Amino acid sequence: MSWANLGWGAMLEVAIGLVLLAGAVVVYRRRAPDDGHYGSQGAVILGLIAIILLIHGFGALEYHPSQAEIEAFQERGR
């Protein structure tokens, strides 16, 4: 997959996903003032949203028929 194959909307979606993912890492690595442990539930949720945006932006959720489905569709069309 290259950037040339993506439309403007998909590029924007991927860029926002990368920004959210970087933000999730920053929020997760920031130490809590009270107990000093790493981690944040908000950072994990932000990371999941970023991953979903990246997957969708790169087109991994689009339907791609297999060669057998294409051939079956062509057979029915004749």
Give the Cα separation of 25 and 47 in Å (integer): 8
List C-alpha distances in Å: 46 to 14, 25, 29, 56: 14, 9, 13, 15
pLDDT at 48: 96
Give the Cα separation of 41 and 17 in Å (integer): 18
Predicted confidence (pLDDT) per residue in 4-60, tens digit:
677 898 899 999 999 999 999 998 887 666 766 666 788 999 999 999 999 999 888
**Angle value at C-alpha 47, between 56 and 28, nearest 5 degrees:** 165
pLDDT at 61: 84
pLDDT at 2: 60
Q: What is the pTM of this model?
A: 0.71
